[in-house]
Amino acid sequence: MQKVIYRNEIEKYVQQMESPVVTYIEEGQIETFEGFDTFSIIAFDWYDIRDMEGDPSQMLIYLDPDDLFIICENEASFGAATKCFVPAPSNERSLYLFFKNLFKGDTRFLEELEDRISTLDDTVIHDGSESIREQIVDLRYEVLRLKKYYEQFEEIFDELCDNDNDLLSHDYLTYFEILNNRCERLLRSVLNLREYVVQVRESYQAQIDIDQNRLMKVFTLVTSIFLPLTLIAGWYGMNLQMPEYGWKYGYLVVILVCLFVCALWAIIFKKKGWFK
């Protein structure tokens, strides 16, 4: 028998499964892959990789020489499993087609994700806003989820290819090795994307540092220009009787001296290229 069922329907098909399976599943003792003498149980967390907000749900696969059951935790995983499941003359063929369809379109999605990261990388050069930082954080989270997602399948296919209980024929081992290689390529792509996101984050931080340096340069320019003026103001603010106080043009001369100091510093900074 080959069938996609809900987890709470296991009791209906207990006669088709080995006796300890139901208890084993209900007690939650399932690891990623459990191989026994006459059957195997596969467990993995499935989620729609195109939906960042989607919650993962567990899928279980029971395989023995006569039966193949794909056991789903909720409606979302049941719908995905039903879409990917194709009944075939042999359980091996059905299992292969199921995983093949499960990965269908993933390469294209990772290419689109790379385009998103590339576009963000270009945007960072011209925009250091808080929204960019939030996008980088979201991408890091998404890539981390994908990394964990494909790592579990890599472990599953390694165990399937070992074929310790001989549930897979030699001919179909080749098909699962192909799936294993595909999963490894997907995982490598995700790891490359993770490095790319790290580079974008570093570019963003570098841009923030550049903007801060520009701001500090402005403060330095303003301070350098007004420091002499502050000295002049402090000088003439002292409670002393200076000769200039009785001069008819003293006030005008002080104003001209202040303007001269500002112009002098502006010329110096311009020659040094600080106004760029």
Q: 0.85 cut: is pTM over it?
A: no
The string of pLDDT tens digits covering residues 72-92 is: 888 988 999 999 998 888 888
CB atoms within 10 A of CB 22: 15
Residue 190, pLDDT score: 92
Residue 255, pLDDT score: 81
Kindly give, in sequence order, each residue whose CB lies less than 8 Å from that of residue 87, ignoring residues fewer than 6 positions away.
Answer: 2, 94
The string of pLDDT tens digits covering residues 119-178 is: 888 887 766 666 788 888 888 889 999 999 999 998 888 888 887 788 888 888 888 898
Structure-token pair, residue 189: 């792509």
* Residue in the structure block whose two tokens are 């502006």: 266
Residue 198, pLDDT score: 87
Residue 127, pLDDT score: 65
Give 186 or 211, the one with higher predicted confidence.
186
DSSP state of 112: H
Confidence of residue 27 (pLDDT cuts 50, 70, 90): low
Give 270 or 46, the one with higher predicted confidence.
46
Kindly give, in sequence order, each residue whose CB lies less than 8 Å from that of residue 21, ignoring residues fewer than 6 positions away.
Answer: 14, 39, 41, 62
Distances (CA, A) of 167 to 36, 92, 164, 172: 10, 8, 8, 10
Distances (CA, A) of 76 to 54, 97, 152: 10, 19, 19
Confidence of residue 184 (pLDDT cuts 50, 70, 90): very high
User: Rounded distance, CA 85 to CA 98, Å?
Assistant: 5
Mean pLDDT estimate for the chain = 82
Residue 192, pLDDT score: 93
The string of pLDDT tens digits covering residues 246-267 is: 777 777 877 888 888 888 877 8
Share of the chain above pLDDT 70, in %: 89
Given a contact cutoff of 8 angstroms between Cβ atoms, the answer to whether 117 and 138 are in contact is: no
Structure-token pair, residue 26: 């209900």
Confidence of residue 20 (pLDDT cuts 50, 70, 90): low
User: Above 80 in pLDDT, residue 16?
Assistant: no
Q: What is the mean pLDDT of residues 14-24?
A: 71
The string of pLDDT tens digits covering residues 94-133 is: 999 999 999 999 999 999 999 988 888 888 776 666 678 8
Give 97 or 30, the one with higher predicted confidence.
97
Q: What is the DSSP string of 126-170?
A: H---HHHHHHHHHHHHHHHHHHHHHHHHHHHHHHHHH-TT--S-H
Structure-token pair, residue 161: 């290819």
User: Above 70 in pLDDT, residue 28?
Assistant: no
User: Above 90 in pLDDT, residue 188?
Assistant: yes
Give 66 or 36, the one with higher predicted confidence.
66
Residue 72 backbone phi and psi in degrees, to 5: -110, 145
